[in-house]
Structure 1
Amino acid sequence: MLEALVFLTILLGFFGIILKKNLVMKIISMDVMSTGVIAYYVVFAAREGLFTPIVGDVSKGPYADPVPQAVILTAIVIGFSIQALMLVGVMKLAQNNPTLESNEIEKSNMP
């Protein structure tokens, strides 16, 4: 059930990117889709009964691999920086155009 909700979040973001015409709404939809992909990865990789690999008095047994955690943290940081860069691009477009609707910007910039 949780996987279906996460997949629905990914689809919601995907269709938002395709169907919305406002550039800020496209950026928000991309962020929703990115969050869904990260949540899907976390749900898929979660396992019960694994120990955290920290040096100490823990008995030997199956432990959680820290590499997927590092990959997810990297994906979050990269997603945040891409979102910030896209918002700066939209701000630059807003200086030259009276609207942020993509089809209106395309019409005004046609030769």
Structure 2
Amino acid sequence: MLEAFIFATVLFGFFGIIFKENLMMKIIAMDVMSTGVIAYYVIVSSRSGLFTPILNGVADKNYADPVPQAVILTAIVIGFSIQALMLVGAMKLAQNNPTLATKEIEKNNTLTKN
């Protein structure tokens, strides 16, 4: 059931990127989709009965693999930096265009020959 909600989150983000006209809404939809992908990865990699990989002298425990945690932290940092870069790009577009509607930006930046 939880996987279905996460899959729906990814789909909402994907369809938001495709169908929204406002550039800020597209950026937010991409962030929602990224959050869904990270949540799905966490659900897939989590298992019960495992302990954190901290050395404490006991060798008989089942330890969790730290690699998925590192991958998730890296994905979060990269997602944050990409979102910041997209917001800077939207801010630069807003300086030259009176609107953030993608069709208007395309119309203003397309060269027409008469």
If the TM-score is normalised by the length of the shorter chain, which range does it land in? over 0.9
Runs of 4 or more off by more than 4 Å in structure 1? none
Q: What is the rounded CA distance, in whole Å, between the counterparts of 2:52 and 2:60 in structure 1?
A: 11
**Structure 2: distance between partners of 1:27 and 1:68:** 26
Offset of residue 61 of structure 1:
2.5
Aligned to 1:8: 8
**Unaligned ranges ≥5, structure 1:** none
- Shift in Å, 1:62: 1.6
1:29 pairs with 2:29: yes
Match of 2:55 in 1: 55
Structure 2 partner of 1:80 = 80
Equivalent position amino acid for 2:38 in 1:
I
Correspondence for 1:103: 103
> Mind listing any 5+ residue stretches in structure 2 that lack a counterpart?
none
Equivalenced residues, count: 111
Q: Deviations over 1:14-41 (max 9, x none)?
A: 0000000100000000000000000000
* Aligned equivalent of 2:38: 38
Kindly indicate whether residue 84 of structure 2 is the aligned counterpart of residue 92 of structure 1. Answer: no
Which deviations, in whole Å up to 9, do the C-alpha atoms of 1:4-63 show, x marking residues without a partner?
000000000000000001000000000000000000000111100011110114341221
How far apart, CA to CA, are the structure 2 residues paired with 1:32 and 1:109?
28
Structure 2 length-normalised TM: 0.94
Partner SS for 2:52: coil
Identity %: 75
| Match of residue 68 from structure 1 | 68
> Which TM-score applies when normalising by structure 1?
0.97
